[in-house]
Structures are given as C-alpha cells and as structure tokens.
Amino acid sequence: MTQTPEVTAFYEKRTGSVQYVVADPAAKKCAIIDPVLDYDEKSAATATLEADRILKFIADKGYAVEWILDTHPHADHFSAADYLKRRTGAPTAIGAKVVEVQKLWKDFYNWPDFPADGSQWDRLFAEGDTFSIGDIPARVMFSPGHTLASITYVIGDAAFVHDTLFMPDSGTARADFPGGSAQALWRSIQDILALPDETRIFTGHDYCQGGREPAWESTVAEQRATNSHMSKYLTEADYVAAREARDATLPMPKLILHALQVNTNAGRLPEPEANGRRYLKIPLDLLKAPWE
C-alpha cells in the first residue's frame, strides 16, 4: 500500500516559491524540500526568515530532519540548504546532473578553480535512486527540461515536481534557460503524468493566476485533464512549438545571475573578501533581453 506523507507547504510571496516539509509523523522524521534563503535584490540584503519559519514548525512538531533536498539549481531564489545543514546537521542532496549545470555556469562566471563535481552536496541522486523519510519510501525521477539537472521526488503518494508542472490553470514551466529544452520538458511531464492518477502533485512555484490565492497541490488526474498546456497541446511537436513561442516573449528571472552562483554551490554565499564583506559577480551581456 502506498503511504501518505504529511506535507506542509510554506509559501514565500516575494518570489512565489513554495517550500515543503514532508514528514512521517509516526516516525517523527521529515525532509525539507526547496527551502528559500531570503534575498532582497534592491539592497542585496540576505536573511533567514523563511528557513527559520520552517525550523520553528519542525521544532514544534518534534521532528528530526533526515534530508535537505533541492529539485534543481534555482534561477529565481537562493537556496537555504547550506544554512539548514548548518542548523540541523542533515545531509543535502540534489540531482546528479547538477554537475552539468555547474560546468556551464563555471564558464559563465569565469571561475577556473570552482569544483564542478557536485561535491558541495552530501548526495547526488540519479534516476531511480531510492531513500526514505522515516518509514515512507522515496524515489527519484530525472525530470530535465526546465534545467539540465531537474528531478522529481516521489515520496509515498506525493510527487514534488517544482518547475515542470504548475497548477493546472498555470500550465508548465519555461524551458529557455541555458541548458533547457522544451522537448526534454515534454518527455519529463509525460513521465510524471504516467504516475497513478491519485498521486498528489506539489509544484514549486505559484504566481496566483487571475489574482486567486496561492495554491500548490493537485493530482495527476487533474493535471492530465485540465492543465492549460497539457490538455491543449497533445503532441510533442505542438507543445514544443507553443512552449518555445511563449518562452521567446518572457524576460529572464530578475535573480537568475544572482542566484545561480549561490545555488550551483549548494546554497553557499560567496566567501568574504579581505574587508569581511561578500560580493556577487554578475556577467554582463550573457543573457538576452527583450528590449521591445
């Protein structure tokens, strides 16, 4: 019988991100998925408000953290994985293809000494790898397309898909970042939609379509029947054409160049320089802007 983990979402409205605590209440064990390190791009100030909110919830529940999991190197927020590892001692993990993303961005940032080998995480998950949260079994699906390294965590009857599927009224994720592929995204979504109909789908972002309240949970059956992209574009060719046309109109996320240098390093901020201050590095004219 498929087990049902307790899933608690923490919505971060600044970036529209959804963070999760996934727990086996009977065993008092949990994992944290896609935690956000607060960052204000206007002041370049950082904070741990979101991560501390998650830690308080876990402490109040009396849970022990077994894993700190990221689905991919995020382009729109900083990961709080490093901070949470230092606070809890729990191991960090991400998909094994993160090394390909590291190689790409190592060149973009002109970091000749940066170790692009995934060693910043405690575990790199490959397709089909298994683990557990308490007594609830979990497995990893490789879900590229939005990024080279995106994975889905299937934990009991819950699938954490982050930037593949959004809520049904919001369609699917963009695939035009460096290393992205609309073709690969289509295939990844087909794999997710082949899960049992009752599988709970938890997405990593919500932008409150039409002004509604934030939402993040659906099912495979709901996604297949009503997703505004997947119920309309029924062949790979039609989907890819629509996805690429839409992506061509989108500006880059405002934090992509800030975030990738942190998130390809497992959420570690740059080391302080001689004056004790940390600095981000922004490559100019790397990405295209829709000037019109």
What is d(CA 21, CA 153) in angstroms, rounded to the nearest whole number?
A: 13
The structural domains of the chain, ordered by start, are 6-263 (3.60.15.10)
Closest-CA residue to 37 (of 277, 199, 258, 289): 258
> In this predicted model, what pLDDT tens digit does every residue of 183-229 receive, in sequence order?
999 999 999 999 999 999 999 999 999 999 999 999 999 999 999 99
What is d(CA 135, CA 157) in angstroms, rounded to the nearest whole number?
A: 13
Q: Which two tokens stand for residue 110?
A: 């002109």
What's the mean per-residue pLDDT of the chain?
96
Instruction: Specify the DSSP class assigned to residue 252.
Output: P
Is a pLDDT exceeding 90 seen at residue 288?
A: no
Longest dimension (CA), the chain: 57
> In this predicted model, what pLDDT tens digit does every residue of 156-166 receive, in sequence order?
999 999 989 99
Would you give the end-to-end CA distance of the chain in angstroms?
A: 54
Is a pLDDT exceeding 80 seen at residue 2?
A: no
| pLDDT at residue 292, rounded to an integer | 63
